[in-house]
Amino acid sequence: MCDSASFTALERLPDAEVRLRWERCRRLLERRTPEASGLLVFSRINIYYLTGTLGAGLFWLPREGAPVLLLRKGLERAVLESPTAEVRPFRSYREVAGLLAGAGSPLGDVVAAETAGLPWSLADMLRERLPDVRFVSGDAALSRARAVKTAWELAKQTEAGERHRQGLREVLPLLVRPGMTERDIAVLCISAYLELGHGGLMRMNAPGEEVFFGHVAADDSGNYPHYYNGPMGFRGMHPALPCLGSETVWRPGTPLTVDMAFNFEGYGTDKTQTYWAGGPDSMPAEARRAYDLCVEVQRAAAASLRPGVVPSRIWRDVLDRVGDTPFAAGFMGLDGNQVPFLGHGIGLAIDEYPVIAKGFDEPLEAGMVLALEPKIGIPGFGMVGIENTFVVEESGGRSLTGDETDVIFLPGGGHKNRER
C-alpha cells in the first residue's frame, strides 16, 4: 500500500459541501421513494458527486447513519480527496451486505439504486448476491439533486463559462480564417481551450453517448445527417469517429458553426458561436433573419428561466414563436436531424436534468444550470444558431458564457468584425 500521508490532494471536497449533497439526496429520496432505506450508487461520476473522488466501486447513502464508500481500487486516493469517513476496500459483491453492516450502515429491505446505464450483468449479479433486497430506482433523486447547483459548483461553472467565452469570442477569431478545414479549426479551438485551462474531457450521462470537446460544421456540414442527440449536423473525422470536424473547407460566403463545450475542474458549460466567412454585407438576408430568430428565441427563453416556471411551458412558447415563421421546418435541425428540445441541464455532464422539452413538467428551481441552443438548418446552405449556458435566478436566466449574441464576421485571417 502506498503511503497516502506523503501526498496532498489536488482538491478536497469541503465537508460542508458533501453533507449538503447528502442531505439533498436524502430529502429527495424521502419524497420520491419513501420506502427505500437509502441510495446505492455505482457510476464514477455519481460517486464523485457524492464523495469528491472518482472511485471504482460503490457508494451507500443510508437514509440514516454514516455513508460508506466501498472501493476495489483507489482507496488511498479517496482518503486524500474525500471527506467521507467510512472508506473501505472490497473484492466481491458478495461482501457488500456484510461490509455495510459492519460499518454500522446496513442495507434495508428496500434499496434505491442508480439504474440509468447500469449493465444488466451487474443488475443480475446484485439480485443474486443480495436476494433479500428489493431494488427500486433512485435515478430521479440523483438527477434532481445534481440539477440544483450549490454555490461551490456554481463557482466552478462561472469560471468555466468565462474561459469558454474568451475561447470562442476572443481567441479563436484571431486564429481561424476562411480556407481552413473543419479539422484545422477544431484543432486550433482545442489548443486554445487547453491554454485556457480546459480539463480535456467532456462527460455524458446517456448510456453509450460520447463526445470529445464538440463539433465544428462549415458550409453545408451543419445539415449533414447524424445520430447525435442535438440539432447541429456534422461530418466528423470518420464514421467511427464522428466528432470534431472533417476535411470540409470553410469557403468564403458560408457559415461556420462551432459547438465546442468547456470543462473546468469537472464542471462544464456549453456554447455555440456562429462565424461568417466574409463581411456583414455578404451574409444572405435569409441567413441573417434565421440567426436573428435564434437570438430572439434564446432571449425569450432565458427570461423565463425563473424558479417555478415549467420547462415544457417554455418549449410550447418557443414552438408558438417559431411556428409561424418560414424557418419552422429547420428549427432545431433539418429533416432527420431535428430534435424536440431547446436546451438541457449541464454540470458534471453535458446532458443533465432538466430538458426544455415536452414532458418536463416539474418547475425549475433556483440554481439549476441549463444550456439554451436555438439553431436553424437552411436547405442547401448550412446551419446558424447560438448557444449559451444560464443559471436559473429570480430575475431570469443569467448567462455564464457571456452576453454577446452577434455573428463574428471574418473576412480574412486574424481580423474580426462584429455586427449586432
Inter-residue contact 403 to 389 (CB < 8 Å): no
- pLDDT of 60-74, one tens digit each? 999 999 999 999 999
Inter-residue contact 316 to 202 (CB < 8 Å): no
Inter-residue contact 61 to 42 (CB < 8 Å): no
Same fold, 4-146 and 148-419: no
The whole-number average pLDDT for the span 107-117 is 94
DSSP β-bridge partners for residue 22: none
- pLDDT of 43-53, one tens digit each? 999 999 999 99
Give the helix, strand, coil percentages of the chain, each rounded to 5: 35, 25, 40
- Confidence grade of residue 411 (pLDDT, cut at 50, 70, 90): confident
- Confidence grade of residue 89 (pLDDT, cut at 50, 70, 90): very high
| Residue 420 in this model has a pLDDT that exceeds 50 | no
- pLDDT of 142-171, one tens digit each? 999 999 999 999 999 999 999 999 999 999
Query: What pLDDT is stored for residue 414 in this prediction?
Result: 46
- pLDDT of 268-278, one tens digit each? 999 999 999 99
DSSP-assigned states of every residue in 37-103 = SEEEE-SHHHHHHHHSS--EEEEEEESSS--EEEEEE-HHHHHHH---SEEEE-S-GGGHHHHHHHT
- pLDDT of 360-406, one tens digit each? 999 999 999 999 999 999 999 999 999 999 999 999 999 999 999 99
What is d(CA 332, CA 374) in angstroms, rounded to the nearest whole number? 6
| Residues listed for the chain | 420
- Confidence grade of residue 212 (pLDDT, cut at 50, 70, 90): confident
Query: What pLDDT is stored for residue 4 in this prediction?
Result: 64
| Residue 340 in this model has a pLDDT that exceeds 80 | yes
* H-state helical runs in 148-263: 151-165, 172-175, 182-195
Query: What pLDDT is stored for residue 417 in this prediction?
Result: 53
| Residue 415 in this model has a pLDDT that exceeds 50 | no
What is d(CA 22, CA 66) in angstroms, rounded to the nearest whole number? 10
| Residue 20 in this model has a pLDDT that exceeds 70 | yes
- pLDDT of 218-269, one tens digit each? 998 888 888 878 888 888 888 888 778 889 999 999 999 999 999 999 999 9
The whole-number average pLDDT for the span 330-341 is 93
Query: What pLDDT is stored for residue 17 in this prediction?
Result: 97
Query: What pLDDT is stored for residue 49 in this prediction?
Result: 98
Share of the chain above pLDDT 70, in %: 97
- pLDDT of 290-301, one tens digit each? 999 999 999 999
| Residue 416 in this model has a pLDDT that exceeds 70 | no
Please indicate whether residue 246 or residue 108 has the higher confidence score (pLDDT).
108
Query: What pLDDT is stored for residue 358 in this prediction?
Result: 97
Coil, strand or helix at 394: coil
- CATH class, domain 4-146, is alpha beta
Kindly report which listed range (108-112, 182-186, 202-206, 375-379) carries the lowest average pLDDT score. 202-206
| Residue 217 in this model has a pLDDT that exceeds 80 | yes
What is d(CA 339, CA 18) in angstroms, rounded to the nearest whole number? 36
The whole-number average pLDDT for the span 112-132 is 91
| Residue 413 in this model has a pLDDT that exceeds 60 | no
The whole-number average pLDDT for the span 129-142 is 95
Is the peptide bond between 354 and the residue preceding it cis, with omega within 30 degrees of 0? yes
CATH architecture of the region 148-419: Alpha-Beta Complex (3.90)
Q: What is the mean pLDDT of the chain?
A: 93
By DSSP bridging, strand 255-260 and strand 369-372 are unpaired
Query: What pLDDT is stored for residue 388 in this prediction?
Result: 98
**Any idea where the domains of the chain sit in the sequence?**
4-146, 148-419
